[in-house]
Amino acid sequence: MPHRMHLMVCAGTGCVANRSPEVRDALVTEIAKRGLENEIQVVTTGCNGFCGAGPLMVVQPDGIFYQQLSPKDVPHLVEEHFLKGRPVQKLMYVPPETRTPLPKMMDIPFFSRQRLIALRNRGLIDPERIEEYIARDGYAALAKALSQMTPQQILEEVKISGLRGRGGAGFPTGAKWEHVLKAEGEPKYVICNGDEGDPGAFMDRSIVESDPHSVIEGMLIGARAIGARWGVVYIRNEYPLAVQRLMIALEQAREYGLLGDNILDTGFDFDISVSRGAGAFVCGEATALVSAVEGRPGEPRARPPRLAQHGLWGKPTCLNNVETWADVPPIINNGGAWYAQIGTEKSKGTKVFSLVGKINNTGLVEVPMGITLREIIYDIGGGVPGGKKFKAVQTGGPSGGCIPNELIDLPIDFESLAEAGSMMGSGGMVIMDEDTCMVDVARYFLAFTQDESCGKCAPCREGTQLMLDILTRITDGHGTMEDLDALEEVAKVVAETSLCGLGTSAPNPVLTTMRYFRDEYLAHIGAHKCPAHVCRQLNTYRIDPAICVERGHGCGVCRRECPEKAIFGEKNQAHRVDATLCNKCGTCVDVCHFNAVIVE
Amino acid sequence: MIRLTIDGKTTEVERGTTLLHAARFLDIKIPTLCYHPLIKPFAACRLCVVEVKRSWGMELVPSCHVACQEGMEVSTGSSHVLAARRLVLELMLARWPNVPILRKYAAELGLEKPRFASPLRDEREDACILCGLCVRACDEVVGASAISFAERGIGRRVATPFNLESESCIACGACALVCPTSYIKFEAEDHRGKPPEFLLDPNTAIYMPTAQAVPKVPSIDRDSCIHFQTGGCQKCVEVCEPGAVNHKMVDEEIEVEVGQVLVAIGYDTFDPTPMAQYAYGRLDNVYTGLEVERMLNSTGPTGGRVLLKNGKPPRAVGIVHCVGSRDENYHRYCSRVCCMYALKFAHVVKERSGAEIYNFYIDMRAFGKGYEEFYSRVLNEGANVIRGKVAEVVQAGWSKQKEGALLLRCEDTLIGRFREIPVDMVILCNAIEPRRDAEQVGRLFGLSRSPDGFFLERHPKLDPVATMTDGIFVAGCAQGPKDIPDVVAQACAAAARMMATISKGEVEIDPVRAEVMEEYCSGCRVCSALCPYSAISYVAERKVSQVNSALCKGCGTCVAACPSGAMTGYGFTDRQINAELEGVLAV
């Protein structure tokens, strides 16, 4: 007998970290206790994308959305909703503006404004069961590609769709496949790049976790188009759940005869192995990735030859990102023309972004190309929390650039982002509010790229180090105007002369912040002030005597915690900071319960 | 062929040529650090960047890596290129301010004062600039992969696995050779100034066998050659323009059909080790004649200087004649050359080291043209000659001052007294003796040997180069000890004898010869063992013996010895002789 109700409990990494397995177990026990196990089925799904509000649960078929569940909410929830049919309002999503709970998932702007293609099955299927993927038309595209289409037709369809690589550079996928198809050399390989190293980006992880079969199916279709026999998924070992689900999916696909010899009785042979990355950001670069798969140090090499000619083991190789592969099955199912309707003239389809930073609705969103930053940040993301002002958004990960408030109506596609000095990258979006210091942001991202530079080419190895030195000097208040000029000069040369994408894009955060927020640099250098009070070495600390006495009664916690013993005062009396002793560590600000320490 | 323009000059290059090669062909200088002509491009130093015109604008590309394309427009010296190069160089100078090659390029690019200082500043002149040539040479060329880059980013460095001595390293020195800053050094261990040929260290794989080698062609040492260890490398093939290097050459046996053979297999020198009294091989600084000859050679281990084992010149040298010759226990014959080369040593050692010289002789055999005069000259130079055999060579004493010194005990027969002479070095003038394989060679050619083991000529006075076997000649020390003029004379004579036969075109043989009646021959081979001319061979297929009529002299030994009566004299069979007898008696 079919169940009358399905409880889709999110088991993405975010929700798992927020104890969603415990919620699921509590639900199962509670339902069993009430004797509802034949009526209500609990399903664990992949990531829903609304990670900031986890653990999440969607009650189907009504589509009632619950958020921030905890095991202790479960008895009440089961009693009220599943027995008595009264959805529990206090566990629903409440938009900050209206304060009225929105019961249905599709009423929540975060979900309703998205258009799901790569993430089409998120929250709807159990990623560890291939039957659920197949029930949602999974592997139909493969069947179509194998039985009704020639490799050339598959290629044509992908070309018509206008799909471009989702890994960052936006190279037209159809053209790439055609290069591999025409390249001489056997065997040919397909590779899935799942080395998602950008801080704050997790779309690839989420796709593999919530819908691993979509990637496998995409690779199968790609392999058919280019004539490959073997595929490799290179995935970060820091994604244990994704690796585990991918392994399960591969095993199930093999059991179903969807991988291996003579797939679907068409004489097509293909299999996929998994290569786990050891945690180097540069291995996301295609040539470095291939080098790592071959068991050599993950270092890029100069191109040409392209991977299409000289890839894995020196053979023609087609390398695409997780999201690109996941986009392929719907294109084959619905036709390239369908996909090409979505998006802008040059950038077709949808793109998944991970929305993080100073934003209300942290999570993963898939939107059509051409959507404006404003729509993403305010309509979907729910704006900046705490009533703060939006300042900038960093797109494209550590090597992308910062786009300021003035450009918030910028429609997002590959070209417009590049024009603004940033890039699409893999789709990371870090939202920054007025409390963010842009010099510090540039320094932060550069520290990341400097640390992740492989060190092969001189400009990237020495240049990122030098830029980081200069930025650290500026944020420490020792910067000079010559430093600023040198920084710009070095950034430009490093961008122009570096060997691989890491080096050529590493200066982007520096160049864009210098372009849009030069006044902040000047404030750091000229006035020795950090406008956002982030760079602690430029701050001065003062204790408001009134607040200290009236609210804190001179509690003395700052005095005790100050590592330099620079704070003086008696109990019940106002404390003060001795500026000559203060090392500007900011501990007093962090420990004061009454916000009596004023930063200037 | 591809046409492109570099700095306004149009040129044609072959497909696959890099921009760097094309530019160098046009004499355009481009600085490089990580490039080496024998190693694949790495494109990592980015100093060789040039500007290429693309549809979207000017692009900087590494010229060492990018191949020429039809219609390319390249600029190698624009301000854009120079500024980029200068800055990249400045970045590297910030870290390695004193490395000569960086400073040289800095001077060329007009970079006077680098602005930056890296926190990892390394002031050494021989700092590693991470060009990666060593790593690639070890991997691509040598195939050993003993070194690699460790760590990443700014911490990158060249290292062996786990920083331990690598077992993969074959000590070829390729890494040190390509290192542009001498950061990697190849040091032989300290052997206190000993010359390389005395050591067991690895040497270069391609070497000239000796300084005056004939033919003057280098050889490849299979044990040191990387190709024979890894199957790779072959850089010598790449650089050898005439294509003379061949790794596939192997030893081969060649069969040559000849009518005459000159046996000139030379001699061995007597090993004085069994003469325990002379302490050869037991005490330091006791040498044989050939060893001293090598020492005196200007391309030898000491560069021609006469030195003791401790590296000091000797103060006194004893030269012992007749070591192993004219000695009833070893060789009774006189080796003929020793007296003269001993005198030569006396002359040369005195001249080069100023040492006091003592020659110990039995009889001075200065028999050749000008030899006696040379003897007189050596005497006039102050060499001491003592007539008497050396009884023994002993260590002079155990005190510190006498360490290493030797004492020669002998009887001076001219004054009739025993003497003890202290010296630093003893030269043993050892005898000439037959080659150790003379017996096998003799058997091969059917040559007789005199009791002393040298090959016997047909007649000592009338036919000194021919042997008992027709067509086989001997010359040189294979026939008996002699000096170089005598060897040359004998060799010329042998050559003339052989030429005489060749120019005649045919060989006359005696009608008197032996013949096998195959129907009676049992194949016992008694005849072939007895034949003094090696004229009888055994035909294995038919199991019978066969006489080579060109070699047979008709001596009749085989006829007399044949147990089955199969061997007869040609034209002198028993029946013929009986018939002759009957005919004579019938009269």
Residue A319 CA to residue A336 CA, distance in Å, equals: 20
The CATH number of domain A350-433, selected from 3.40.50.300, 3.10.20.600, 3.20.20.70, 3.20.20.150: 3.10.20.600
Residue A479 CA to residue A473 CA, distance in Å, equals: 5
Residue A291 CA to residue B134 CA, distance in Å, equals: 20
Write out pLDDT tens, residues B530-577: 888 888 999 989 899 999 888 888 888 999 999 998 999 888 888 888
Query: Which of B65, B95, B155 is closest, CB to CB, to A462?
Result: B95
CA of residue A86 relative to chain centroid, distance? 36
CA of residue B539 relative to chain centroid, distance? 42
Query: Which of B45, B62, B154 is closest, CB to CB, to A450?
Result: B154
User: Is A496–B84 a contact, with Cβ atoms under 8 angstroms apart?
Assistant: yes
Check residues B224 and A114 and name the one with the higher pLDDT. Answer: A114
User: Is B43–A489 a contact, with Cβ atoms under 8 angstroms apart?
Assistant: no
> B514-586 in CATH: which number?
3.30.70.20
The number of beta carbons lying within 10 Å of the beta carbon of residue A211 is 30
CATH classification (class only), B2-77? alpha beta
Residue B273 CA to residue B280 CA, distance in Å, equals: 5
Q: What is the DSSP letter of A375?
A: I
CA B77, B82, B88, B90 torsion: positive or negative? positive
Q: What pLDDT is recorded for position A141?
A: 94
Sequential DSSP letters for B323-371? ESSS-TTS--S--SSHHHHHHHHHHHHHHHH--EEEEEESS----STTH
Q: Which residue has the tokens 């305010």?
A: A378
Please tell me the distance in Å from A460's CA to the nearest CA on chain B: 8
Q: How does pLDDT run along chain A (600 residues), one tens digit per residue?
A: 578 889 999 988 888 899 999 999 999 999 999 888 888 999 888 888 888 888 999 998 888 999 999 999 999 988 888 888 888 888 998 887 778 888 888 888 888 888 989 999 988 888 999 999 999 999 999 999 999 999 999 999 999 999 999 887 789 999 999 999 999 988 999 999 999 888 878 889 989 998 999 999 999 999 999 999 999 999 999 999 999 999 999 999 999 999 999 999 999 999 999 999 988 899 989 999 999 999 988 899 988 888 999 999 999 999 999 999 999 999 999 999 999 999 998 899 999 999 999 998 888 899 999 999 999 999 898 889 888 899 999 988 888 889 999 999 999 988 898 888 888 888 889 999 999 999 999 999 999 999 999 999 999 999 999 999 999 999 998 999 999 999 999 999 999 999 998 999 999 999 999 999 999 999 999 988 999 888 888 888 889 988 888 888 888 899 999 998 999 988 888 898 998 889 888 899 889 998 888 888
The number of beta carbons lying within 10 Å of the beta carbon of residue B520 is 13
User: Is A458–B44 a contact, with Cβ atoms under 8 angstroms apart?
Assistant: yes
Q: What is the DSSP letter of A218?
A: H
CA A82, A85, A91, A97 torsion: positive or negative? positive
* A530 phi/psi in degrees, rounded to 5: -105, 110
List beta partners, residue B359: B319, B385
Alpha carbons within 13 A on the beta-carbon side of B11: 22
Residue A388 CA to residue A432 CA, distance in Å, equals: 10
Q: What pLDDT is recorded for position B194?
A: 46
Residue A203 CA to residue A191 CA, distance in Å, equals: 18
Write out pLDDT tens, residues B30-70: 999 999 998 999 999 999 999 999 888 899 999 999 999 99
Residue A352 CA to residue A332 CA, distance in Å, equals: 20
Interval B361-385 mean pLDDT = 94
User: Is A462–B84 a contact, with Cβ atoms under 8 angstroms apart?
Assistant: no
Q: Which residues of A120-136 are buried (b: 16+ CB within 10 A; e: fewer)?
A: bbbbbbbbebbebbbee
Q: Least CA distance to A457: which residue of chain B?
A: B44
B-interface mutation test, from A462, A478, A482, most B Cβ less than 10 A away: A462
Tokens of A219: 């690779």
Q: How confident is the model at residue B114 (pLDDT cuts 50, 70, 90)?
A: confident
Residue B261: burial class (beta carbons within 10 Å; 0-12, 13-18, 19+): middle
Residues of chain A with C-beta less than 8 angstroms from the C-beta of B136 = none
List beta partners, residue A320: A192
List beta partners, residue B569: B514
Give the predicted TM-score (pTM) of the model. Answer: 0.74
Tokens of B527: 């005849």
Structural domain spans, chain B: 2-77, 129-243, 267-433, 437-504, 514-586
CATH 3.40.30.10 in chain A is located at 5-107
Please tell me the distance in Å from A463's CA to the nearest CA on chain B: 6
Residues of chain B with C-beta less than 8 angstroms from the C-beta of A451 = 153
Are residues B558 and B567 in contact, defined by beta-carbon separation less than 8 angstroms?
Answer: yes
Looking at A342-477, which runs of residues are DSSP E strands?
Answer: 350-357, 363-368, 390-395, 402-404, 428-433
CA B121, B124, B128, B133 torsion: positive or negative? positive
Q: What is the DSSP letter of B188?
A: P
CA of residue B528 relative to chain centroid, distance? 41
User: Is A462–B94 a contact, with Cβ atoms under 8 angstroms apart?
Assistant: yes
Provide the residue type at A505 as one letter: S
Residue A253 CA to residue A260 CA, distance in Å, equals: 9
The DSSP H or E segment spanning A57 is strand A57-60
User: Is A457–B45 a contact, with Cβ atoms under 8 angstroms apart?
Assistant: yes
Q: Which residue has the tokens 């090598």?
A: B294
Residue A150: burial class (beta carbons within 10 Å; 0-12, 13-18, 19+): exposed
Residues of chain B with C-beta less than 8 angstroms from the C-beta of A302 = 41-43, 62, 65
Closest to B523 measured CA to CA, from B564, B559, B554: B564
Residues whose CB falls within 8 Å of the CB of residue A381, separated by 6 or more in sequence, listed in order: A110, A355, A359, A360, A361, A365, A431
B-interface mutation test, from A419, A496, A498, A500, most B Cβ less than 10 A away: A496
User: Is A462–B91 a contact, with Cβ atoms under 8 angstroms apart?
Assistant: yes
Residues of chain A with C-beta less than 8 angstroms from the C-beta of B47 = 458
CA A543, A547, A551, A553 torsion: positive or negative? positive
Please tell me the distance in Å from B29's CA to the nearest CA on chain A: 19
CA of residue B303 relative to chain centroid, distance? 17
Q: Least CA distance to A450: which residue of chain B?
A: B153
A-interface mutation test, from B45, B51, B154, most A Cβ less than 10 A away: B154
Residues whose CB falls within 8 Å of the CB of residue A449, separated by 6 or more in sequence, listed in order: A281, A398, A399, A464, A502, A506
Q: What pLDDT is recorded for position B496?
A: 95
Residue B92 CA to residue B180 CA, distance in Å, equals: 14
User: Is A499–B44 a contact, with Cβ atoms under 8 angstroms apart?
Assistant: yes
Residue B110 CA to residue B224 CA, distance in Å, equals: 44
Please tell me the distance in Å from B40's CA to the nearest CA on chain A: 11
Residue B221 CA to residue B228 CA, distance in Å, equals: 9
Residues 489-508 of A with CB under 8 A from B: 489-490, 493, 496-499
User: Is B151–A455 a contact, with Cβ atoms under 8 angstroms apart?
Assistant: yes
Q: What pLDDT is recorded for position A1?
A: 57
Q: Using an 8 Å CB-CB cutoff, list residues of chain B that contact chain A.
A: 33, 41-47, 49, 60, 62, 65-67, 83-84, 87-88, 91-92, 94-95, 115-116, 118-120, 130, 132, 148-149, 151-156
Alpha carbons within 13 A on the beta-carbon side of A289: 30
A582 touches chain B (CB under 8 A): no
B-interface mutation test, from A465, A480, A494, most B Cβ less than 10 A away: A465
Residues of chain B with C-beta less than 8 angstroms from the C-beta of A482 = 115
User: Is A461–B116 a contact, with Cβ atoms under 8 angstroms apart?
Assistant: no
User: Is A458–B84 a contact, with Cβ atoms under 8 angstroms apart?
Assistant: no
The fold adopted by the segment(s) A130-340 is Rossmann fold (3.40.50)
Break chain B down into helix, strand, coil percent, rounded to 5: 25, 20, 55
User: Is A450–B46 a contact, with Cβ atoms under 8 angstroms apart?
Assistant: no
Residues of chain A with C-beta less than 8 angstroms from the C-beta of B130 = 455, 458, 461
Please tell me the distance in Å from A309's CA to the nearest CA on chain B: 15
Q: What pLDDT is recorded for position B94?
A: 93
Strands B406-412 and B417-423: antiparallel
Residue B495: burial class (beta carbons within 10 Å; 0-12, 13-18, 19+): middle
The fold adopted by the segment(s) A539-599 is Alpha-Beta Plaits (3.30.70)
Query: Which of A299, A459, A461 is closest, CB to CB, to B154?
Result: A461
Q: Which residues of B318-335 are buried (b: 16+ CB within 10 A; e: fewer)?
A: bbbbbbbbbbeebbebbb
User: Is A455–B49 a contact, with Cβ atoms under 8 angstroms apart?
Assistant: no
Query: Which of A302, A461, A497 is closest, CB to CB, to B153?
Result: A461
ipTM of the complex: 0.87
Q: Tell me if the domain spanning A5-107 has CATH number 3.40.30.10.
A: yes
The number of beta carbons lying within 10 Å of the beta carbon of residue A526 is 12
Q: Could you give the strand order of the β-sheet that contains A390-395, starting from the edge strand earlier in sequence?
A: A363-368, A350-357, A428-433, A390-395, A402-404
Closest to A80 measured CA to CA, from A100, A97, A64, A98: A64
Closest to B386 measured CA to CA, from B355, B402, B409, B353: B409
Please tell me the distance in Å from B126's CA to the nearest CA on chain A: 18
Residue A105 CA to residue A101 CA, distance in Å, equals: 11
User: Is B156–A461 a contact, with Cβ atoms under 8 angstroms apart?
Assistant: yes
Write out pLDDT tens, residues A202-239: 889 989 998 999 999 999 999 999 999 999 999 999 99
CATH 3.30.70.20 in chain A is located at 539-599
* Number of residues that this document lists for chain B: 587
Query: Which of B45, B119, B148 is closest, CB to CB, to A458?
Result: B45
User: Is B153–A454 a contact, with Cβ atoms under 8 angstroms apart?
Assistant: yes
A458 touches chain B (CB under 8 A): yes
Is the bond leading into A55 cis (omega within 30 degrees of zero)? yes
CA distances from B182 to B33, B35, B101, B283 (A): 13, 16, 11, 43
CA distances from A252 to A8, A182, A234, A366, B52 (A): 22, 32, 19, 27, 51
User: Is A297–B130 a contact, with Cβ atoms under 8 angstroms apart?
Assistant: no
User: Is A490–B87 a contact, with Cβ atoms under 8 angstroms apart?
Assistant: yes
| Secondary structure of residue B6 in the 3-state scheme | strand
Q: What pLDDT is recorded for position B400?
A: 63
Provide the residue type at B399 as one letter: S
Write out pLDDT tens, residues B272-307: 999 999 999 999 899 999 999 989 988 777 888 999
Size of interface A-B (CB pairs under 8 A): 99
Query: Is pLDDT at B465 greater than 90 in this prediction?
Result: yes
Please tell me the distance in Å from A457's CA to the nearest CA on chain B: 4
List beta partners, residue B74: B6, B52
Query: Which of B41, B84, B94 is closest, CB to CB, to A466?
Result: B94
Helices (H), A130-191: 130-135, 140-147, 151-161, 173-182
Q: Least CA distance to A493: which residue of chain B?
A: B84
Residue B504: burial class (beta carbons within 10 Å; 0-12, 13-18, 19+): exposed
Q: What pLDDT is recorded for position B193?
A: 42
User: Is B49–A456 a contact, with Cβ atoms under 8 angstroms apart?
Assistant: no
Closest to A33 measured CA to CA, from A82, A86, A85, A90: A82
Sequential DSSP letters for A277-288? E-S-GGGGSHHH
> A438-527 in CATH: which number?
1.20.1440.230
Query: Is pLDDT at B190 greater than 50 in this prediction?
Result: no
Helices (H), A227-303: 240-255, 286-293
> B267-433 in CATH: which number?
3.50.50.60
